[in-house]
Amino acid sequence: AQKITQTQPGMFVQEKEAVTLDCTYDTSDPSYGLFWYKQPSSGEMIFLIYQGSYDQQNATEGRYSLNFQKARKSANLVISASQLGDSAMYFCAMSWHRDDKIIFGKGTRLHILP
């Protein structure tokens, strides 16, 4: 089955703390990608980070890192030193290189508290 699961509907985190947003996936294909999008209250979709299934090292982009654990089929997003502007909805997504299909999880709404 092709599935993306985000188990945290909402999270509250104190400013400057690190945040981990959970994401698990299910696929039998060997070639795929995992990535995260941020959706602020304005509604736009902002691409954050991408990890290919064959990449040996975890992806990092500034304060974002993707904790890829292939055996556990998890792709958690870690935001270091959270900021008020990080308050948004975050979507985990998966793509299959075989046919370019891309599906999203239900999202986690992150609230950063001052």
Scanning 14-22, 27-35, 76-84 for contacts with another protein by CB under 8 A, the matching segment is 27-35
Q: Which is nearer to another protein, 70 or 101 (CB)?
A: 101
Cβ distance 58 to 66 under 8 Å? yes
Catalogue the E-assigned strands of 2-113. 3-5, 10-14, 19-21, 24-26, 32-39, 46-52, 60-61, 64-69, 74-79, 88-96, 102-104, 108-113
Within 8 A by CB and 6+ apart from 100, the residues are none
The residue within the footprint of another protein, chosen from 44, 57, 71, 114 (CB under 8 A), is: 44
Q: Which is nearer to another protein, 30 or 114 (CB)?
A: 30
Please report how close the Cβ of residue 3 comes to another protein at its closest, in angstroms: 12
Which neighbouring-strand residues pair with 38? Answer: 46, 90
Spatial distance between the Cα atoms of 109 and 15, rounded to a whole number of angstroms: 15
Can you give the length of the chain in residues? 114
**Is there binding between residue 43 and another protein (CB under 8 A)?**
yes
Please report how close the Cβ of residue 35 comes to another protein at its closest, in angstroms: 3
The residue within the footprint of another protein, chosen from 22, 24, 50, 64 (CB under 8 A), is: 50
Binding site for another protein (CB under 8 A): 6, 33-35, 37, 43-45, 47, 49-52, 91, 93, 95, 97, 99-107
